[in-house]
Structures are given as C-alpha cells and as structure tokens.
Structure 1
Amino acid sequence: MSGPLLLGVRHHGPGSARAVRAALDAARPGAVLIEGPPEADALLPLAADERMRPPVALLAHAVDDPGRAAFWPLAAFSPEWVALRWALDHGAAVRFVDLPAAHSLAMTGDPTWGDEDDDDTGDGDAGEPSAVGRRGLRLDPLAVLAETAGYDDPERWWEDVVEHRAAPADDPLAPFAAVAEAMAALRETYGHGGNARDPVREAYMRLQLRAARKEHGDDAVAFVCGAWHVPALAARTAVTADRALLRGLPKVRTETTWVPWTHRRLARRSGYGAGIASPGWYGHLFAAPDRPVERWMTKVAGLLRDEDRLVSSAHVIEAVRLAGTLAAMRGRPLPGLTETTDAVRAVMCDGSDVPLALIRDRLVVGDVLGEVPDGAPAVPLQRDLNRLQRTLRLRPEAAERELDLDLRKDTDAARSRLLHRLRLLGVDWGTPERARGTGTFRETWRLRWEPELHVRVAEAGVWGTTVLSAATAKAEADALAATALAEITALAEQCLLADLSEALGPVMKALADRAALDADVGHLARALPALARSLRYGDVRATDTTALAEVATGLALRICVGLPPACAGLDADGAAEMRGHVDTVHTAIRLLPDADEVAARWTAVLERLARRDTIPGALRGRAARLLLDDGRLAEDEAARLMGLALSPGTAPAEAAAWIEGFVGGAGGPGRDGSGGMLLVHDERLLALVDAWLTAVPAEAFTDVLPLLRRTFSAYEPGVRRTLGELVRRGPAEGGGAVLAGAGAPGFGTGLDEARADGVLPLLDLLLGRRRADDDERVGVDR
C-alpha cells in the first residue's frame, strides 16, 4: 500500500464484498474505517459474537424523540460487514467514521438538508445517491455508467462488470481503481449529485481519515465507503475548510443498538443502501463456494418439490444448460438472475409465471431474519418484551404466519393479552383476524415482525419499563386525551382485551363523564356496540365488567329516549346513517346481560318508529323488519304496515325507501340476503311489493329504480332467481301463488303422487335398499 487504501463499494453488493475481503487480505491494514455512525463504535465487538447472525442493523434514535430514528442495515454479503468481521478476526482497529447520528437525526425533516432518505448512504443499488443531479434531483451513478456502456438496466450492467467477474489474483485492488476513476468522472460532471448532505458528511470523513493516518500511519489505514465518496475523500482540502462545513450543525442526544433485520426489508428502499431487488439471490452468490448457477437451480427444484410439483434432476440439468445458453446469446460472462429465471420458467414451470411468484418470494427475496445477542443494548421495554416472547414461546418471525388462540388455555390467553397490549402501544406485531369457529374464547392473529417495530418499542418506552406498565399508562393518557365518546368506548374494549385492570377504572370514569355530557344520539349509538362486545369477555377472560355493564345500560336507555325525536325530519342521507345506528344498537342491546328492561324499552321504540308517519320510510321499514325478526310483530301486522307504506297515497320514492329498509339485510341493503329469503317464504309480502311496483307511474319509476336495484341486486343469485320465478307466475287472490300454465317452474297447488313416486327407485338405489316388488320381479324372472 502507498497511502490510505480507499475501497469504494456498492452497499449490499456481494461482488464488492468479495473484492473487499481480497483487498484486505492482500494489504493487511492495521486500521479499518467504515462508513457508519461513530456512536456505534462501542457496539462493534458484538459483531464477533457467535449469536450475532446477519442480516442485522444498527439502530440510532433520538433519546427525547424515539420516533426520529435511522437504520444502517448489514447483510452477510455487505462489504461493510465483511470489513468489520475481517478487522475483528485479524485484530485490526475498526471504527465508524460517517457523520454522527446525533447530527444526521437532527437534520431529519429539515428541508435545508434534503429529505430523510438522503441520510446515511444513498441508494441501495449503488450505495450512493439516487436520481439525476443538475436538475435538483439525485443522481444514480450506476444508471449513468450503465447508460454510457450501452445498457438499459443498471442492475444487469453491475452484474456483468462486477458480480460475474473475479478480481485479478495478482492485483486485488484493480477493481477499486477502476470504480474510483469512473466515480471521479461523474463527480467532475455532477458535483455532489443533488444531495446537500454529502459535502458535510465527506468533510467529517476526511477529518477522521486524517486522524487515523496520523495515529496508524499512511500505509496502515483502509477506508470502506460508498464508491461515490472516494473522489471526495481523495481530494486535497484544508482542515479549516472541512471544520467550517461542520460548524453549527444541529444536534440531538442519541442512543444506538443492534437490531435484527430481514432480507424482505432489504428489498425496500430506505436508509443504508436498502432497496436491492434480490437479497436472497445476492446472499446465494456470496455464500456459494463454486458453481453458483447449479446450486441455485438445486434450491429452486427443492422448493418446487416441497410444493408438490414434479421436478427431477433432468429438469435441473436442462435448466442449467438453458441459462448458460441464454447468457452466451446475450453476451454475458455468466448467467444472471434474469437468465436463471427465464430458464426456470421454461423448464421447471412449463412457461407459467405462477410458480415464479413463489420462487421470488421464498428465494429471490426470502424471509431470513437476523439475530442479535442478548448483550446488545436495548430500552427496558424491549428487554421485557424479549422476556415475554421467550416465556410464551412466541418467536418473532419475518414470514407472515397465522396464530389461532384458545383463550381457555393459560398460555394462549397470555399471548392474547401481550398482543393486545402491544397494539395499544402502537406496536402492531399482530393483526386480529376473524376467528374460525364460534365462541368468544377463540382468537386468530396474523403475525409478522418488521424491523421498524423496534422503533415503535423504543417510542413506547416513554410509558413504562414493562409491557404491562407501559400499556396501562398509555391507556390512562389516551382516556384523558379522548374527545369523542366512541374513542373512549373503544379504549375500554381494548383495556378488557389486554386485561389492564388498573387502567380500566380511569377509563370508565372518563367514559361515564363523557357519556353524561354527550346528548347526540349518533355519538351514543356509535359508542354502545364496543361496550356490548366488551361485556362478552367477562366469562372467558375472568374480568370484572360490572362497571362497564352499568355504563352500557345507561347509554342504551338514553338512546331509547333520544332516538325517536332524532329520527324525525331526516333527509335521505341522514335516514341512511340513522338506519345504520338502529341496526348496531339493536345488535348491541341483545348482547347486554340481564337487560330485560332495556330490551322492552327498545321494542317500544321500534314500534313507535314503525308506526309514526313523520319518520322517514327507510327507518319505518327497518323498525318493522327488526320487530318481525324478533317475533315482536305478527306477519299479518307486517303485511298491513307494508300495505299502508305502499298505498297509492304514498310518494313512490318514500315507498321505495320503506322497501329498502324492510327487505334489506342487516348492516346494509340486502347484504346478507335475509330480506330476499323473507320475500321467498312469505309470498303475501312479495305480492304487495309486486302490486305496488306495477302501479308506479312511468314518470316516477326512474326515481325509485336506483333504490330498488340497490336492494335487490345485493341478494344471492339463487334468491334473485327464485324471486323472479315467483313473480313470473303472478300473484293469486289472497296473496298466494298459482302456476301460470302447464310446465311452469315451481310447485303446484296440490300433490302429484305419481310424479312423487317416480323418485323412490332412485332413492332405494342410493340407500342400497331392496323393495318388495323388486323381490317379486326377481322371482318371476327366475
């Protein structure tokens, strides 16, 4: 070496990683400098721990604002990780020398320094800034170089010139000299490439490089950094000029730690060189000792076999041959991901792209999740969460999985409490799904651990040092800050699900205070369902819901008093919204325990709504339907109310709204098809609707048609077909139905015994029974 060794790399590039290892083996420097936050220097020895398994990331966050955070991901094929492990294994001094996170985090959100993603590293493909320089956008160096070389795909160009070419054995530094020359030409043309932070970062790195050269000597220092920075680091600048650039930078207090990362997260753009399209493929190229294409095809074949696809050794051999042929035809030194994918599609997938989606998800990207030793610094809340995860055997995984819980089991109940508490804290590790089966003792969750959740945990650490204490404090604070009654009732439901008994008292007090002051029926109606659902959890979760039941009963009674006046004089939109409230309140009241008085009051309210002319038709029809479903309204009375609503004196639009409210399913017009089944089985009501519809004047028909279409089109196809057959027959006197003629579909008025007997031989054959007349016939034949 002559002078410091500047190794310009592509972040997360396996070719760069191999070249860095070869260069360090040849040069044997006494100090290795790496682009990264200096606050993490104390964490570097953990990289040698046998329990540290990449991909991992350095996480730095502001102490007073944990949500202001940045990641520096490192995969096994990242040149920075290779340099770090080389230094630790060979006893060389190693330091991070990029701009401190204390400054870069303070710059976040400041338009003077660019947007947040401009921090730390540039893009994932080149490891450098990304987009076009002189127009104020950011430059993508690889795109410019690839275009200059006649390529339209920067990824393919990089693979051809770096990933698929080994460094010369006699000169392992030659690739870095070539890359440095190319970057120098780009910097000469584009300056800092549109990234306002780069000059500041590079000034800091130059100062650190000078200090390392002074401490270890010019020939004993190697600097691993993004290739874009090499020309700036090699330039001769005055120390005073560099210090002037750093003067007056904003600063925040920070904390730094290691956190697990995932290959899937590397495939997204953000932070330290993320955004690579194929981390699984890159990991394979770096780890494969030889014959990477053959080994890759073997992996693909194994995956497809696991999915019950017929893939033989002959398929693997032919796919390897085809990939090599495609590479030769396209002028590539070795088959790349494009060639291997084309070969797999043609040979193993029969030309289909469907299996390729699985291959991309499982292999090209992958679900690899790194591990960090327990000795890594962490906020107390994170340590408590780690302890709970081990105790409950609920291991974080990068792959999405479904978790079914039986709350009657202690372990499953504890898992449910943990997941609900984390959701209350904003740590959405699990998302609740619709549980399979029936009963309130079942829960289904969809789990997926994302690295960003470490930031959410750090943010939640301000509420407490344990998951329980933090969730309790957060619930109490949310109760005081809530402005809407529905927010507090939803919070009460969360407290019961998460078993936060200490927080439930303050939440219930806030709920009672807010409910006493809120006279809006709509607000009360939106708040009641959450309380009613919460009351079901008492038996399974062994929580005391007495106070909750009192508040819920009070809300229900207030709704009963205020609903009839609130329904009068509403327009069409207001009536539709109020109809939704009526449905939800009706369902909620049936869930209230020991609420006979409330149920009786609610029935009386529905009867008033069904018979009061000043109430919009949609609400009158809905009230009549709910009473009919509960057995509180006789069928004859329902037919009478429908007849009144569809009488000639009623405006067609109002009559259509009544029909929509009456025959529409619960929760929306016809959503569950129950209104259609009601008309199928009660042809008197269908006859009333049919008679009214045929009598609607032509000039009014276009006004009522959208309402009717919205109602009837939501029914199941079988229900609509049956209704059509019934209407085609035409109603008979008295509301019954008669056949329109011989051979018409449906049932006749009487029983045709001869036709009915015709099915008996087939039933006997299906059931394996012999009839007496069969035995007689067999005897005659003999």
Structure 2
Amino acid sequence: MLLGVRHHGPGSARAVLAALEAYRPQAVLIEGPPEADALAALAADPAMRPPVALLSHVVDDPARAAFWPFAEFSPEWAALRWALAAGAEVRFIDLPAATSLALLPSPEELVLAEGPAAPDADPPGESGEPGEPGEEARVDPLAVLARTAGYDDPERWWEDAVEHRGEEGGDPLAPFAALAEAMAEVRAVHGDGGHPRDPAREAHMRLKVREARRAHERTAVVCGAWHVPALAGRTAVAADRQLLKGLPKAKVETTWVPWTHRRLARASGYGAGIDSPGWYRHLFTAPDRPVTRWMTKVAGLLREEDLPVSSAHVIEAVRLAETLAAMRGRPLAGLGEATDAVRAVMCDGSDVPMALIRDRLVVGDVLGEVPPDAPAVPLARDLARQQRALRLRPEALERHLELDLRKDTDAARSRLLHRLALLGIGWGEPAGSRESKGTFREDWRLRWEPELAVRVAEAGVWGTTVASAAAARAADAATHATTLAEVTATAESCLLAGLADALPVVMRALADRAALDTDVAHLAAALPALVRAVRYGDVRGTDAGALGKVAEGLALRICVGLPPACTGLDADGAAQMRGHVEGVHRAVALLPDPALRDRWAAALRGLAERGDRPGGAPGGIPGLLRGAAARLLLDDGRLDAAQVARLMGLALSPGTPPAEAAGWVEGFLAGGGMLLVHDQKLLALLDGWICGVPPAAFTDVLPLLRRTFAEFDPGVRRTVGELVRRAPSLAAHPAPRPTDPGLPGFAPTLDPTRAEAATHTVRLLLGTTTTTDLVTRGDGGAQDD
C-alpha cells in the first residue's frame, strides 16, 4: 500500500491514520534516513513532544548536517506513532544520510533551513536531501494541479480538496489512489521536476520496499506523493542497485532535536509548503467546528492584549467567515476567510492586531521537547544539565533576561551564556540595560533556534563540557589571533565567562603581542576591552591584577606614541583615530592610577595645542583630532572656557583652510551642542567663522557642518538656531558687555534675587532641604514652590 502525502499536511495525516486503521499493516515504511531506525522507538516516549526533527551530521565535520522535521500534524509522524502503538515494524527508507551528506561539495553549500521545494516533495536539508547548488527551478506539483482545477492559489486548492474534506464513508484508500494518479500525470509532463537526485533516492526506496514485502504480508509506505509513481512502477533490481553503486559515504551521527513552528513556516526560509503551521495544527487537533474554535483562540489572544473583544464579536466573526466561504464557493471557511472576518469584526480593519495574530497563532511559538535519554554529544548533555540546574529553559519565543551578578544563580547564568558565545552558540545576545549601567548588571535577549543544535555539535570538538570546550576555544583563539585587539577581546571574554584555566595561555599571548606591536592604533583599539576586563574581574571576584599591569603599560605606550600617530592622516584615518582616542580616554578614566590620567591629559593637550604646521599641510595633525582633544580636555575640566576660546579662535582664523576648520568644529562639537547654548563667546566665534567662509569653499564644508549639527539633540539645535536668529550682530560682539542687555532670557551675569527663588526647589530635588528651611521660608514660599 502506497500512501502519498503532503509533508506537514493535517488532512494527509488524518487520511493516513484512517488508511492504517483499515489496512492494519505489519510494517510501516516512512520516508526518512535509515539511520533513524534505532531512534524510532523514542517517538512513543511521553517526553517526546513535537515539533521535533531528526538531525544527522558528519562526525568529523558537524557543519555538514541535515534536518528531517516532524510536526504533530505531519503524516509521517502520525504513521510513526500509529506503528509504535500497533506493534508494527517501523523502517525509514530514504537515501541514507551518510550518502546524502557525503555528496555535499562543501559545508558552505549545505542548506540547513532554506531552499525552494515543492510542497509534496522533499525540501533540501530538512525533509530529505541536502540542497545542491545550481539546481534547476523545482516544479511545484500542487501548483500544477491547482491551475488544472482552475485555482490561482495552490494553498486554497489543497485546503478545499484535502484539508476541508470531511470524514466521508467509503474506501479510505481512495484519496491516495486519486492523488497518485494525478502525480503520475504531472511527472509524465515534467520528468524529475528539477530534482536530479530523485532517481537515486527512489531506487533506494524501491529496494527497501521489496525487502519489507518479502518479510511481511502487509506493508504500508508513507512518502511524498511526488515519489508514488516512481515507487509503483516496475524497475529491475539490478538497475536500482546500479544507480546506487559508487555513491560516497561518510560517518554520521543521528539524533532527535527540538524544532519550532517558526522553522516550519516559509517566512523563516524553510520551504515545506506551509505558511501557517499554527493554523494547520489547529485543523489537526480540532476537526469539529474548527472555525468556531479558532475565533475563540483569536478572541482570547486579543483580550490578553487588552483589546475589547466580546463573545458577540466571536459569533459575528464566525458568521462572516462562513458567509464569505459560501460566496467564494468553498466547502468550509479557510484561513483566508477567517482572517478577513477577524480583521473586519475584531480588529476594526486594522492590520496591527492582525500582525500579532499571525505571529502568535497562525505561525506560533511552539517549541518541541526531546527525552533526556535521546542520543546526544557529551557537550549537548552537559548544556542540558546546566540549563535545568540554572532554570534556563530553551524557548522559541524571545525573552528578556536581567541578571544581577551579585547573586550566585545569576552569575552562573552569565558565565554559561558567555561561554556559549565563545563557542559560537548564539542562544543569548547581550542587550543594553534599561535601568542601570553598573557592571554588576547584565541584560540578555534569549531565543533558542533549532540550528543551534548543529552549533553545539560543532563545538563538541573543543571538549565534552561547556566549560572545558569554551576554555579550549579561547586558548586557540588567543594563540591564532592576528591583532592585539582580538587577544584583548578574548581576555575579556575569558573573565566574563569565568575561564580561569584559559587565562594563562591568553595572558602569554597578550604579553607577546603587546610587546611586539608598535602600532598606536592597534594599542588604542585593544585598551578599552582590557580595561573593561579589569573592571569585570573586580565585580566577578576574579584575579585581574596581571591584566591591570598590561593595561597600564599599553596606556603609557599610547601616551608616548599618540602625537606621531596622529600626524599626516587623511580624512578616513583621522576619523578612525578619533574613535580610538575617545575609547582610550574613557578607558584611562577607569584606571586607578592618577599619574597615568595626568600623563594622558598631557598627551591630549599636546595634541590640541599642536600648531607648528597647519593641519592640512603634510605632516600636520588633522583639525578633527585637535578639536576632539580640546573637547575631551574641556569636559574633564583641564581647560577653562578662555583657553578653549583661544584654541577655537586659532582653529577658525582666516589663515586656516575652511575644510580644516570645519574638521576642528566637527571634532570639538562631537561631545554635544549644549556648550554653544551656555557659552556665547564660543557660539559667536563659530557664527562669525561660518559667515566668513568664502562662497567657493562653503560647498565643501557644508557636508561636514551638516553632519556635525545633525548629531545634536533636536532641542539643542532649535535653541542654537534661536540664539543666532535673535542676535544678528553676534559675530561683531562675541562677548556681551555688562551694560549690554544681550539676548532675551540670557543675562550677562547672575541675578542673585532670581537665583535665590529657585534654590529651595533645587534643594528639594537634591534631598538636602531641612525642616528649618521650610519654617524659615514660611507657608507663602512653600506655596510658591
């Protein structure tokens, strides 16, 4: 008995169950890798909850892998569970994974979760064969049949012909015979349909079917309907064996792994032919009144989001969906009718809640589960053990995790996530903290994807536990690093991950690389990560003293080599060096040595006051760097307003090329524009220089100025514009005289009387107001405040 199905079709699954109950075969043959025969019994384990997938990977090269997913509504899964419950023998009859994976030219050409495929054929890398680069466009047999039946949508035709077909009486094998006849006609026209490996696969299936028929009187074969004509035809055994002769083989391992509904959806890149796995699961689990039950689910979801949806909305939506189905000539309302009805009745025509419904219900976030005793690499077992111990359950839905590193459990969670990141297993992604910037807090976004199982298998070459594998990977990364910044980043990762065993190797590589590297840009790029590592060592209780000494040594070398390294740079080089200078400035501020901070300030002052040659001349320091250095010194209080005004006056003097002066302005104002709001002298200098730029040069400096002022907050830009607009003679009077009223709202000196009126409110905000202050002010003052 040949049962041609559509992969992940609930109608096919129900039809398969009915056919198996009627025929009662002694052996059930399922399209899938034969390596899974030993794993079939696990499908009956109560802890096995679909969606799940068979994962096969090459032992020596885990990146060469393929998935065979099964959902609750997959006909193959239904057949597998029926056979195990009925005591029938189960065999997988597709081409072995050892052969299909060996045929891959390279790991880069392996398709783990994408590739076009016909709905009832085998998507590459997930339901049968790994994809082959350069394959011709594949024929979609359902699209061909739908066009023949007068439908423009294959999904709608399949729902009308199969999914919405009621439990009719008669022969349960009749639908399979009709579908097999239709597929035979399609294959007669389209040949292999763009599946060049199908002849070998079907030859292997035929051999397995013959073998099962010799051993059992009644056998049932569950496979993609596309293959039924090839399996039903008469072919010589010798011809089939000749097709398989000489095919390569690789040593593979196969296991069960959790899968998700999102990975079954086309939107995720998996071409299984189902756009709506959540809807299909609903059809399979709710065969009676599916539309009514669906509307109830939708209403429940919208209510959880605080949208006003009542039972009356549900009743009206069901009526509208059934009416639309009748008008469109459909036997039952499908997803299209249900969606139109929900949009009109429950969502008031808005697509915003419809996006939520599609994400949560039509597709869904269901994540399968696999029994703990399923075969797995030692690293995967250790990871699962730690996930259970730390109560970090893998979930398909993205979740936000806030960690307080002062707590033992949170610190252990942080170490695990950082170790996985070192191994390239991206379960967690660091997220910016919303409330605290302290080093004792971490924010993560967690989301488990099925392909992470492949990453775990790949990382198994580094060790049998997460800790040992991460330590070995870190030591290897430090040894083979090409830049100093890579070594310091690895050192930081080791401290974050608590890998004390790997630190000696990383420190030796760091010391060797730091001693030989003379490029100031490399040193500057490496220092911030090294200083962060020192700070993390403090909060995590690890010894970072050796790293601190290396960091101080790097900082001293940067101070000495900074001026020469900033000389003669072009625009791109200056922009890159500016980023390095700002990073080093933040890093040095975190080091405990005040003498080192003074040394760095002296280096910045030398950079800001370097005026031996114009910045634009060969060998000069670009204005961008001189302006940035001046701003950093000003923010640290090492330059006062008068000194900064002198530097700005020199930088914006008529003798400086306009482009160079614009670079100085860009570097100086990169720290923000509030300085111009509070210092009219600097604003006057800047305004006077802009007004004096020659027309021929203005076009060249305009992009720099636009880029500079675009980084200001909108309120700052508006205030600066108002100040300039209200004072057209600002350039002529850069410093308002005491008798000059100046701009409205901006007095030249402080008004003690007006300032005193605000001091009480300021004390309240700072929490320094006492009872004596309130009594002294009296009721009237308190009321004014």
TM-score above 0.5, yes or no: yes
Is residue 2:20 matched to residue 1:14?
no
Instruction: Note the C-alpha offset of 1:734.
Output: 6.5
Instruction: Note the C-alpha offset of 1:510.
Output: 0.5
| One-letter identity of the residue aligned with 1:350 | D
Q: Which residue of 1 aligns with 2:41?
A: 45
1:18-51 CA distance string (max 9 Å, x none): 0000000111111110001111101111111111
| One-letter identity of the residue aligned with 2:383 | L
Is residue 2:692 matched to residue 1:698?
no
- Structure 2: give runs of 5+ residues left out of the alignment: 125-130, 612-619, 759-773
Q: Which residue of 2 aligns with 1:166?
A: 166
Instruction: Note the C-alpha offset of 1:323.
Output: 0.3
Is residue 2:714 matched to residue 1:717?
yes
Secondary structure of the structure 1 residue equivalent to 2:257:
strand
Q: Is the 8 A contact 1:106 1:252 kept in 2?
A: yes
1:91-140 CA distance string (max 9 Å, x none): 111111111110011112379xx974599998373244799xx9932111
Distance 2:459 2:755 in 1: 72
Which of 368, 389, 396 pairs up with 2:366? 368
Q: Is the 8 A contact 2:118 2:138 kept in 1?
A: no
Alignment of 1:571-610 (within 5 A): 571-592=570-591, 594-610=592-608
Instruction: Note the C-alpha offset of 1:573.
Output: 2.2
Q: Is the 8 A contact 2:379 2:457 kept in 1?
A: yes
The 3 A distance-change label for structure 1 pair 23 and 679 is same
Alignment of 1:386-405 (within 5 A): 386-405=384-403
Secondary structure of the structure 1 residue equivalent to 2:597:
helix
Distance 2:268 2:576 in 1: 43
| One-letter identity of the residue aligned with 1:547 | A
Alignment of 1:202-217 (within 5 A): 202-217=202-217
Alignment of 1:210-609 (within 5 A): 210-217=210-217, 220-268=218-266, 274-436=272-434, 437-592=436-591, 594-609=592-607
Secondary structure of the structure 2 residue equivalent to 1:67:
coil
The 3 A distance-change label for structure 1 pair 120 and 770 is closer
| One-letter identity of the residue aligned with 1:374 | P
Instruction: Note the C-alpha offset of 1:371.
Output: 1.0
Distance 1:34 1:504 in 2: 51
Instruction: Note the C-alpha offset of 1:178.
Output: 0.7
Q: Is the 8 A contact 2:688 2:731 kept in 1?
A: no
| One-letter identity of the residue aligned with 2:470 | A
Which of 618, 626, 631 pairs up with 1:625? 631
Q: Which residue of 1 aligns with 2:660?
A: 654
Instruction: Note the C-alpha offset of 1:238.
Output: 0.4
Q: Which residue of 1 aligns with 2:201?
A: 201
Instruction: Note the C-alpha offset of 1:358.
Output: 0.7
Distance 1:677 1:271 in 2: 48
Q: Is the 8 A contact 1:98 1:205 kept in 2?
A: yes
The 3 A distance-change label for structure 1 pair 300 and 552 is same
| One-letter identity of the residue aligned with 1:178 | A
Q: Which residue of 1 aligns with 2:152?
A: 152
Instruction: Note the C-alpha offset of 1:752.
Output: 10
Instruction: Note the C-alpha offset of 1:725.
Output: 2.3
Distance 1:271 1:96 in 2: 26
| One-letter identity of the residue aligned with 2:211 | A
Which of 637, 640, 644 pairs up with 1:634? 640
TM-score by length of 1: 0.91
Secondary structure of the structure 1 residue equivalent to 2:400:
strand
Instruction: Note the C-alpha offset of 1:628.
Output: 1.3
Q: Is the 8 A contact 1:121 1:127 kept in 2?
A: no
Secondary structure of the structure 2 residue equivalent to 1:446:
strand
Q: Which residue of 2 aligns with 1:678?
A: 675
Distance 1:115 1:193 in 2: 21
Distance 1:542 1:246 in 2: 61
Distance 1:771 1:98 in 2: 90
1:327-385 CA distance string (max 9 Å, x none): 01111100000000000000011111110111111111111111111111011111111
Q: Is the 8 A contact 1:664 1:711 kept in 2?
A: yes
Secondary structure of the structure 2 residue equivalent to 1:701:
helix
Q: Is the 8 A contact 1:288 1:295 kept in 2?
A: yes
| One-letter identity of the residue aligned with 1:16 | S
Distance 2:261 2:476 in 1: 37
Distance 1:255 1:173 in 2: 36
Distance 1:732 1:698 in 2: 18
| One-letter identity of the residue aligned with 2:14 | R
Secondary structure of the structure 2 residue equivalent to 1:649:
coil
Q: Is the 8 A contact 1:59 1:71 kept in 2?
A: yes
Distance 1:36 1:559 in 2: 61
1:663-720 CA distance string (max 9 Å, x none): 222xxxxxxxx2x111111111111112222222222222222222221222112111
Secondary structure of the structure 1 residue equivalent to 2:502:
helix
Is residue 2:72 matched to residue 1:69?
no
Distance 1:754 1:479 in 2: 64
The 3 A distance-change label for structure 1 pair 117 and 440 is closer
Distance 1:771 1:469 in 2: 71
Alignment of 1:16-31 (within 5 A): 16-31=12-27
Instruction: Note the C-alpha offset of 1:86.
Output: 0.7
Distance 1:91 1:122 in 2: 37
Q: Which residue of 2 aligns with 1:123?
A: 117
Instruction: Note the C-alpha offset of 1:750.
Output: 8.1
Q: Is the 8 A contact 1:422 1:467 kept in 2?
A: yes
1:575-625 CA distance string (max 9 Å, x none): 222111111111111122x22232122111111111112322111111111
Distance 2:219 2:159 in 1: 29
The 3 A distance-change label for structure 1 pair 749 and 647 is closer
Secondary structure of the structure 1 residue equivalent to 2:55:
strand
The 3 A distance-change label for structure 1 pair 606 and 282 is same
The 3 A distance-change label for structure 1 pair 117 and 564 is closer
Q: Which residue of 2 aligns with 1:764?
A: none
| One-letter identity of the residue aligned with 1:653 | A
TM-score by length of 2: 0.91
* Matched positions, count: 749
| One-letter identity of the residue aligned with 1:434 | G
| One-letter identity of the residue aligned with 1:46 | L
Q: Which residue of 1 aligns with 2:179?
A: 179
- Structure 1: give runs of 5+ residues left out of the alignment: 666-673, 760-766, 775-782
Distance 2:136 2:629 in 1: 63
Is residue 2:90 matched to residue 1:94?
yes
Q: Is the 8 A contact 1:200 1:245 kept in 2?
A: yes
Q: Percent identity?
A: 71
| One-letter identity of the residue aligned with 2:510 | L
Cα RMSD (Å) of the superposition? 3.0
Distance 1:737 1:338 in 2: 72
Q: Is the 8 A contact 1:725 1:745 kept in 2?
A: no
The 3 A distance-change label for structure 1 pair 167 and 127 is farther
Q: Which residue of 2 aligns with 1:778?
A: none
Q: Is the 8 A contact 2:265 2:271 kept in 1?
A: no
1:743-772 CA distance string (max 9 Å, x none): 97433558999999999xxxxxxx999759
Q: Is the 8 A contact 2:301 2:357 kept in 1?
A: yes
Q: Is the 8 A contact 2:123 2:271 kept in 1?
A: no
Q: Is the 8 A contact 2:93 2:205 kept in 1?
A: yes
Distance 2:384 2:663 in 1: 57
Q: Is the 8 A contact 2:65 2:112 kept in 1?
A: no
Distance 2:332 2:746 in 1: 74
The 3 A distance-change label for structure 1 pair 271 and 718 is closer
Instruction: Note the C-alpha offset of 1:419.
Output: 0.3
Secondary structure of the structure 1 residue equivalent to 2:56:
strand
| One-letter identity of the residue aligned with 1:703 | D
- Quick check: 199-208 or 51-60, which moved more? 51-60
